[in-house]
Structure 1
Amino acid sequence: MKDKCPFNCSCFEQPSRSRVVINCSMRGKYKLPSVLPEKNGLDIDLSHNSITVFDYRTYLDKTSSIDLSYNRIKRVDPLIYGILKISNINLKHNGISQIHKNVQLFKNKRTVQFGNITITCSCEMKWIQVWLENQNRRRRGNNVITCRFPDKNVEAISIYQFCAEGKPRSTVQYALFTSMLIVIVSLFLYLTRKYEIYLLSRNFKSRYFGRFNNKTNQQPNKFDVYLSFNTEDYNTMKWVTTVVVYNLERNGFKVCLPPRDFTPGGVQVEQIFTEVANSNSYLVILSDDYLKSQFNVIEWNQIWVHFKSNKPRRIVVVNYDILDSSHIKDRRLKAFVRVGQTFDFCNFDNKLLEDLEIGLRTNNLYINNKSD
């Protein structure tokens, strides 16, 4: 077990408990180890150190339990909550002041221990009460969370009641200013939300009037779906090629996957122009680094041009990194997130692929009619 065991730590197997113990407690660590023994069932103890960030490491995919209590952690990588093999995370006695909504993935027999903490909350975080009730049914005392609101602190387990009581007062207060702000708000919406207004208007027309003209502009193209994503990111590339493309093609979609379908040695920009034009709809995998490549920028601009000029075409967006609209610079992509026309990568009912297929089919009537 000495192979890849961190410096100044002890590593040993316990076959009777089907685990490999990594004891790095009180070892003066400032960050998570880069590597650990390549074994399943890792039980990691990194308590009583000076670690400030709980970020993703590949060995976490083989970890069953990790103790990070008594550190200085302020931020937890949201992707960690989606690692299904981890059954317990101990984050007691740290500096955590925010909890990401991905923590909801820890349910049933899986537990996260935050201890007694105070976090910044809003009434959009009512989900935290449901999650806490689920966690406390199995082990009380792990999480005593206080929500900090602008005017008072509230126990997170009672956030539903607090927000229900506060809503009438807010409604009356804002109603007094409504008549004075109508012109200002309308002008503000026009100047700053034109893409949101466009998407909502287009969706309304498609839903209620599309059936009257859905046969006029139907032009069969080479591909049903064009996939646009950051091909340089290994994790995104692996998920798209092995999961998304496989499921779409298995269900009858003709998919344009640029790394596979572009001609090797050809001019990439020309092929982007050609194949975007030759596709009926577009599936965009929105990640934090989606528009950092010049080719993705060109690709996205072409997708938007054809989306606007051809009413039957649709854009389906998967929010791969669960980005908040405030973290998105492109105003068009920001609009998709703001109006709720995206699919979160970690949708909690495990129906993402089914939802994508339904969304693509209902938005492209000529795909529905292929089997007729």
Structure 2
Amino acid sequence: MRLNRLFLIVATFLICFIKISSGTYETWYPENVGRTDLLCPSDCNLRESSLGTYNSTNKCCVCNAVPSWQLYGDISFLKVEYVRRDGTVHLIGERENKTKLVHHKGFVTSLPTNICEFPNLVFVSLQNNKISTIGNISCLISLDTLDLSYNSIHFISNKTFTGLRNLRILNINNNYLATLEPFALVGTTLQIFRADLSSNNLTEIDISNLISEKYICKYDFSKNNITKMVNDANFSLNGNKTVYKCGFIDLNNNNFESFIDFVELGIDDITLLGRVLECGFSMQAMKWDCDCQMEPFLELASKVISRIWRDYFNLTCWNPPEYRNMSVPGFATKDDFLNDNLHLLICNMSEGEEGKCPRYCHCYVQPKLHRTVVNCTSIGLTKLPLYMPDKENLTILMANNSIEIFESRNYLNRTRVIDISDNLIRIFTEDAVSMLITDTVLTMNNNSFKKIPREFQKFDPCSKVRMGQVILDCDCKDIWIGDWAENRNVKQCNNLTEILCSTRNGQVSWIHLTWNDICGFENYDLFRILSILFSIALLVAVITSSVFYTFRFELSLIFRKVRSRDQRRVKPWLQYDVLVSFNEENETVRKWVIETLEPQLQLAGYKSCLPLRDTIPGTLKEDEMIYNINRSKNYIVILCDDYLGDQWKEKEWKYVWHSFHKNLDRNIVLVNFDQVETSDIVNSRLKAFLRLTLDIDFANRNNTFLEDIQDKLGPPMRYGRVLRNAKTKYVTKTEHVELNI
């Protein structure tokens, strides 16, 4: 042990001697740290390093400064004493002066239990031990260097190094570190110049641990399993900062594939990235996906990329295979024709409802051209796809298919380019063309249409509509085509679109199209007036027909009343004065009809037919129904909520109405048993009775209920034993039998 100590003292002395002899040092006061013991080489303004030429003293000193005790050896070493077999240790040694702890390849499982009793401890190196947690070390206010490499640490919180304002060098490489909380390395009080967290198990890194407002030398996160940067702490760039000082960030040999999504990292304005150009990010030896996520950054950096690019920026593509080994900055570099290749950076979209890419189509986002392309060329389409990706600026390519109708789709107003050439288009619907915006470029060569809607006149045929040569069947409604050609001066672009109208004089170019060519009328005003008059007459006819049809049954009842014949004539084949039609399944209605209405009708001299009672068993129900209806002079219909509740009752009402409609001397008395409203009736014939208030309200309890029924029925066909065909005297309303119903 003494020999080892002697060796360390001699080695320290030799290092200090070499450093002192190799140059002079000056006191350096780093910004926002408050340390006075750091010494920086005097020639820092001229020195070059692997990061390039330093352009400020601070940049040089942050990597090359050393504390005074390291140069002059004014420090004492501490000893480690194991107090338990589980690896628990405590320290022995000087407490007043600056001290140093070095213990490698031991069995220490945690930091010494009494480490806080050594506030002047400035250097701790416990490499190759079995430490799994760091614990609370905020008491080590003088700690400058902490080396816990080759241990078993798996977690570092953002409070682990709280209070360690002098911590300058941190080494936790080759552990099992899986979690590094946001702001664990970069904070308002921390000023860690070097941090080595390489060869661990990190899968993601928070941006708050990468970008610092203070100078740093190097943070090494290489050889982890990092796949993405995150922003769990809602970090955002300080808008008041002109440039972030930062340093070198080593992210080589990780598992990044997708390029950084700066929006997710809280950088909505990508121009702010210019403020972190002082930070060097090395991200080599990874299988990058060269897609649309790279494009915004490369496009923004294209003007300066040749000046700021450094060797460690040399990223190469892995996917897609056709771009493999291509340099990422090469996409933003101008070629011989002064064009970049940023348009090659695309993101493919999935097929089906999830990505909303139509089946068998190829969809991709192309940021450079600010568009989303849907390529459905030559896939056998017979109609326009029902859905498209939920993106703006769609470019839809559907050439060489079998589409026959260009019809309305909700994505048309988001489309900027449509190619439907080489299809079978016969019809352009007006609503579909109306949905297209005026800036849409529509290519429609080689189709079968003979008509185009007037909505096409909103397009510029010289830049937006490309039809090729088409022959249309023109009539008077197509005179706008000639106006369209004249207003848009199509003579200069007749090679893109040439419309020929078939007329009685042959084919006429739209450039020379006149009214007489397609209408043949000299007096356009007369034709227009006639057209207007005809349209008005047609509109009146349509409205009148609609009214007559809607209220046809009401009109029939009104005209019937005017044309009604003498009801006192008695037909010898009639067997009943009245047939009562009601829903026998409705217990309330059935009980009232049998126990109240029918006895009162009988008392008044009416012979009534109740289908429930008077249908002969064993006969065909429908034949018996027709027989009883034909043998009845009048009909009482008891209207309730479920009157037409089954098919037999619907048939009975149909035959009652037919008999009533064909015989003017017959009548229907409608009793509104449930006070049914017009809106509740579906049957138009029943609804007509209610609309004309021809029904009898069952709620009428003022002793006129039966009188109203008798009034509508007229007198019975016989009194007592008078023959069926005998003439009867009409009984006035005052002579009716007074009944209490």
TM-score interval for Structure 1 and Structure 2 normalised by the shorter chain: 0.3 to 0.5
Larger RCO, structure (CA 8 Å, separation 6 or more): 1
* Structure with bigger gyration radius: 2
Which protein is richer in helix relative to its size? 1
Per the normalisation by structure 2, the TM-score is: 0.24
